[in-house]
Amino acid sequence: MSEQPTGQPLIELKGITKTFGQGSAAFQALKGIDLRIASGDFIAVMGPSGSGKSTTMNILGCLDTPTSGIFRFKGVEVQSLTPDQRSLLRRKYLGFVFQGFNLLSRTSAIENVELPLLYRGEKRAARREAAMKALDMVGLGPWADHTPAELSGGQQQRVAIARALVTEPEVLLADEPTGNLDTERSIEIMQLLSELNGRGISILLVTHEPEMAAFARTIVHFRDGLVERTERGHRAGEPVSA
């Protein structure tokens, strides 16, 4: 996939709808979402339960397809791609971080981070080097040999972020990444995401916590399957604590 022309957004949603079920049981989760994400953006999506946040995230992550509308990634209409092509786009360009850390409990931090490269068939030496680099990026190099049980919740989420970064994605999709953390650890994770954004990684965050959304450059509010309004994040670009 080639670089997008100057001025063209990295990601664009136009009139995206999503309907689940059929007939009288049909439910329209998205009713016409318009969203533009430029390269290097940090966008937080907020909204009440059922507003369409996670459905939009699944479409952006190529985990689901819209019922109608246009989804462009680097100018390519994603809905026209085959399932294999969407899978390739997901593996090459996207990284995922979830509320649950989803770490393998009996393996070390570095082995958890290596997993995406293992699935790619990368050789052990290359996997180890890339995983160590990713752990260093999130400040966990010295904990590489520790298992999840030997790490705090915040450290476990950092390992999960390193695992998302090890494939060098252009976009990081974070779905409630601080949902299982206390306030102090949550702020640490948001500061880390801000630092990664400062290195050029585009970030789309789904959260229900206003104080976490404030770290984003732009906050998009969803309601009833539509974009209700947007605002500026007042903590955007806040530096990482020493």
DSSP 216: S
pLDDT value, residue 240: 45
CB 17 within 8 A of CB 54: no
Q: pLDDT tens-digit profile of 97-147?
A: 988 899 999 999 999 999 999 988 899 999 999 999 999 999 999 999 999
**CA torsion, ordered 54, 177, 4, 239, to nearest 10 deg:** 140
Q: pLDDT tens-digit profile of 44-66?
A: 999 999 999 999 999 999 999 99
Domains and CATH numbers, the chain: 11-232 (3.40.50.300)
In this predicted structure, the answer to whether residue 1 has a pLDDT above a threshold of 70 is no
In this predicted structure, the answer to whether residue 74 has a pLDDT above a threshold of 60 is yes
pLDDT value, residue 234: 74
Q: How confident is the model at residue 207 (pLDDT cuts 50, 70, 90)?
A: very high
- 48: helix, coil or strand? coil
pLDDT value, residue 3: 56
What global pTM score does this model have? 0.88
119-139 core/surface letters (b: 16 or more CB in 10 A; e: else) = eeebeeeebbebbbebbebbe
For residues 123 and 237, what is the distance between their CA atoms, to the nearest angstrom?
Answer: 37
Q: For the beta carbon of residue 24, count every other beta carbon within 10 angstroms.
A: 5
